[in-house]
Amino acid sequence: MITEVNVDMVLIKPDPIPEESTGGIIAPDIARANAMKKQNRGMVMIIGSECKWVQAGWYVSFYKNAATDMPEDGEDFVIVHEGHVLAKFQTNVKK
């Protein structure tokens, strides 16, 4: 379990990728893996000690090319520099 990140880093749990489309088509694992690479929204779980703008519990959008995958205990997480968090949302908004 991840308990701490570097001073100016943010650990984010990305939105889950649906296993089935709205039309009922089940996505194969490779399609889900590719969709995960494009995911750029999620919930902030842990922040570094020097983060000034981001807070744990925020729902944010982040620069997807700056994210590093951090799988832990069967769950997907990404870690980004605080400066790569682009926006904060009031709630979990749908794309």
- pLDDT, tens digit, for every residue of 18-48? 666 667 666 566 655 655 566 789 999 999 9
Kind plus residue range of the DSSP H or E element containing 69: strand 68-69
Four-point Cα dihedral 80, 82, 84, 85, nearest 10: 100
8 Å CB contact between 79 and 70: yes
8 Å CB contact between 65 and 50: no
The model carries a pTM of 0.77
* Pairwise CA distance, residues 66 & 78, whole Å: 9
Helices within the chain (DSSP H only)? 29-38
Give residue 1's pLDDT band: very low, low, confident or very high (50, 70, 90). Answer: confident
Nearest CA to 46 out of 87, 91, 83, 6 is that of 6
Q: What is the mean pLDDT of residues 76-84?
A: 94
Give residue 15's pLDDT band: very low, low, confident or very high (50, 70, 90). Answer: confident
